A and B are shown apart, each in its own frame.
Chain A
Amino acid sequence: MNASLPYLIYALFAVGGAGIYLALPRSGRSTAVPGSILGLAAVGMFVAVVAKYALPSEGAGFSYLFSAMALIGAGRVVTHPKAVYCVLYFVLVIISVSMLLVLQGAEFLAIALIVVYAGAILVTYAFVLMLSQQSASVPGDVRSREPFLAVLAGFFTMACIAGQVGDLPLAAAPSSEQVIRLAQHGEADQAVMPEMMVDGNTAAMGAALMTKYVVTLETTGVLLLVALVGAMAVAKKRVPIEESPDPEKPLGQVGREAAPF
Chain B
Amino acid sequence: MLDLLKNQLLFSGLLIAVLMGAINLGVAYCTFYERKISAWIQNREGPNRVGFFGLFWGFHFWGYGQPMADGLKFLLKEEMIPDKADKPLYVMAPAISFIVSTIGIAVIPWGGYLDIDADGIVDVACQVANPDIGLLYVLGVGSLGVYGVVLGAWASNNKYSLFGGIRAAAQMLSYEIPLGLAILVVVLSCGEVRLENIVRAQIEGGGTWNVFVHPLAFFLLFVTQLAETNRAPFDMAESEQELVGGFHTEYGALKFALFFLSEYTHMIINSAFLCVLFLGGWHFPWIPGLGLEDTAWWAVLAKMAMLGTKIAGCVFVYMWIRWTLPRFRFDQLMRLAWKGLIPTGLGLVALAVVMTYFGIPGSESVWPKLIWGLGGNAAVLFMVVLVVGMSPAGVTGRQANMPPISLLSPAKRVPRADQGTAN
A residues neighboring B (CB under 8 Å):
84, 88, 91, 107-108, 111-112, 114-115, 118-120, 123-124, 126-127, 130-131, 134, 136, 192-202
Determine if A114 and B143 form an interchain contact, defined as CB atoms under 8 angstroms apart. yes
B173 A120 Cβ-Cβ under 8 A: yes
Residues on A with C-beta less than 8 A from B129 are 196
How far is B142's CA from A123's CA once the two chains are assembled, in angstroms?
13
Q: Which stretch, B72-80, B117-125, B322-330, B374-382, touches the partner chain A?
A: B117-125
Nearest CB of A to B180, in Å: 8
Q: What's the Cα separation between A61 and B60 when bound, in Å?
A: 55
Determine whether B387 belongs to the interface, using a CB cutoff of 8 Å to chain A.
no
B 325-346 binary contact with A (CB < 8 Å = 1; else 0): 0000000000000000000000
Interface size class of B (residues with CB under 8 A): 35 or more
Q: How far, in angstroms, from A232 to B141 measured CA to CA in the complex?
A: 28
A199 to B140, CA, bound (A): 19
Q: Which A residues are CB-close (under 8 A) to B193?
A: 202
Which residues of the partner chain B approach A201 to less than 8 Å between Cβ atoms?
132
**Given A112-B136, A127-B169, A202-B193, also A84-B154 (CB < 8 A):** yes
Which listed segment binds A: B144-152, B237-245, B257-265, B303-311?
A: B144-152
Residues of A close to B151: CB separation below 8 A: 84, 88
B250 contacts the other chain (CB 8 A): no
Judge whether A197 and B130 touch: CB under 8 Å: yes
Is B302's beta carbon under 8 Å from chain A? no
Selected contact of A119 from candidates B130, B133, B150, B176, CB within 8 Å: B176
Whether a CB of chain A sits under 8 angstroms from the CB of B25 is no
Write the B135-174 contact mask toward A (1 if CB under 8 angstroms, else 0).
Answer: 0110110111011001100100000001001100110110
> Nearest CB to that of A201 among chain B residues?
B132
**Chain B contact residues: helix, strand, loop or mixed:** helix
Q: Is A194 within 8 A of B125, CB to CB?
A: yes
Question: Interface of B with A (CB < 8 Å)?
Answer: 8-9, 86, 89, 113, 122-125, 129-133, 136-137, 139-140, 142-144, 146-147, 150-151, 154, 162, 165-166, 169-170, 172-173, 176, 193
B133 touches A108 (CB 8 A): yes
Q: Which residue of A lies closest to B166 (CB)?
A: A130
Contact A136 B150 (CB under 8 A): no
- Which 7 pairs from chain A and chain B are nearest by CB? A119-B143, A200-B132, A111-B136, A114-B140, A196-B8, A127-B169, A111-B140
Known contacts A114-B144, A115-B143, A195-B8; A123 and B172 CB within 8 A of each other: yes
A residues near B162, Cβ cutoff 8 Å: 130, 134
Contact yes or no, A115 B131, CB < 8 A: no
On whether A127 and B89 interact (CB within 8 A), knowing A119-B144, A120-B176, A194-B124, the answer reads no
Contact in complex: B140, A119 (CB < 8 Å): yes
Minimum CB–CB distance for A72 against chain B, Å: 16
CB-contact partner of A118 in B113, B130, B143, B165, under 8 A: B143
Complex CA gap A199/B134 in Å reads: 12
